Amino acid sequence: MIISARNQLKGKIESIQEGAVNAVVVLKTSGGEVISATISMSAVKELELAGGREAIAVIKSTEVMTGVGDLKISARNQLDGEILKVEDGAVNAIVTLKTNAGSLISSTISRSAVKELGLAAGVKAKAVIKSTSVMIAVE
């Protein structure tokens, strides 16, 4: 599978909480990060997802928020780490964060947000991702 989504975290499915229409799939990466994805029950069945199955959490960089400090928000996925680099564009910047477990997460955010948050290499930050923004892929 070759896709344009920058963030692809490999791991094993730890659990699946099934609902009438959607399910919450919890994937644990080899580094120990836990990623929650809310996907349809039909996708769970079509992909034959089950506990212990290897899978990939796929997240577009435009769906990743970057925060600093103690965040009290509803997003299930908050990965602590440190900013490795900030690549400035005309309007947006690409922020690369190395999580405490060693994964690289890219986020595309506005240049004004980068400035307001004081984001630069070496700054402690969090990658924040709503579970509805996480896709699950299998090979």
Q: How would DSSP label each residue in the chain?
A: ---S-SEEEEEEEEEEEE-SSEEEEEEEETTS-EEEEEEEHHHHHHTT--TT-EEEEEE-GGG-EEE-S----S-SEEEEEEEEEEEE-SSEEEEEEEETTS-EEEEEEEHHHHHHHT--TT-EEEEEE-GGG-EEE--
Is 85 found in the same domain as 45? no
Is 81 found in the same domain as 48? no
- Check residue 1 and give its pLDDT: 72
- Check residue 126 and give its pLDDT: 97
Assess if residue 46 is contained within a domain.
yes
Is 48 found in the same domain as 90? no
How far is it, in rounded angstroms, from Cα 94 to Cα 111?
A: 9
- Check residue 28 and give its pLDDT: 98
How far is it, in rounded angstroms, from Cα 120 to Cα 139?
A: 35
The torsion angles phi and psi of 59, rounded to 5 degrees, stand at: -140, 125
How far is it, in rounded angstroms, from Cα 95 to Cα 61?
A: 9
Is 55 found in the same domain as 68? no
Domain count, the chain: 2
- Token couple for 132: 């509805």
Assess if residue 68 is contained within a domain.
yes
pLDDT tens over the chain, length 139 residues: 789 999 999 999 999 999 999 999 999 998 999 999 999 999 999 999 999 999 999 999 999 999 999 989 999 999 999 999 999 999 999 999 999 999 999 999 999 999 999 999 999 999 999 999 999 999 9
Is 100 found in the same domain as 77? yes
